[in-house]
Amino acid sequence: MKRIFFLSLAMLLCAAGLSIAATRLFPVETPKADAETVIHVLTDGAVQETTMADYLVGVVAAEMPASFEPEALKAQAVAARTYILDHAAHPPEAHRDAAVCADPGCCCAHITVDEMRENWGGDYRKNLRRIRDAVRETDGQRLTYAGELIRAVFHSSSGGQTEASAALWGAVPYLVSVPSPETAQTVPGFETTVTVSASDAAQALGVALPDDPAQWLGETVRDGADRVETITIGGKALTGAEARRLFSLRSTNFTAEIAGGNLVFHVIGSGHGVGMSQYGANVMAQQGALYSEILAHYYPGTVLEPDGANSPE
Average per-residue pLDDT for the chain:
88
Range of the domain at 242: 191-268
Handedness of CA 207, 210, 215, 216 (dihedral sign): positive
151 and 285 in a single domain? The answer is: yes
234 and 135 in a single domain? The answer is: no
pLDDT for residue 92:
83
pTM: predicted TM-score of the whole model, two decimal places: 0.85
25 and 53 in a single domain? The answer is: yes
263 and 285 in a single domain? The answer is: no
249 and 279 in a single domain? The answer is: no
85 and 59 in a single domain? The answer is: yes
| 103, pLDDT greater than 90 | no
260 and 286 in a single domain? The answer is: no
Query: Does residue 103 belong to any structural domain of this protein?
Result: yes
Please count the structural domains in the chain. Answer: 2
**What digits encode the pLDDT tens for the residues 273-282?**
999 999 999 9
280 and 147 in a single domain? The answer is: yes
148 and 23 in a single domain? The answer is: yes
Confidence of residue 4 (pLDDT cuts 50, 70, 90): very low
pLDDT for residue 32:
59
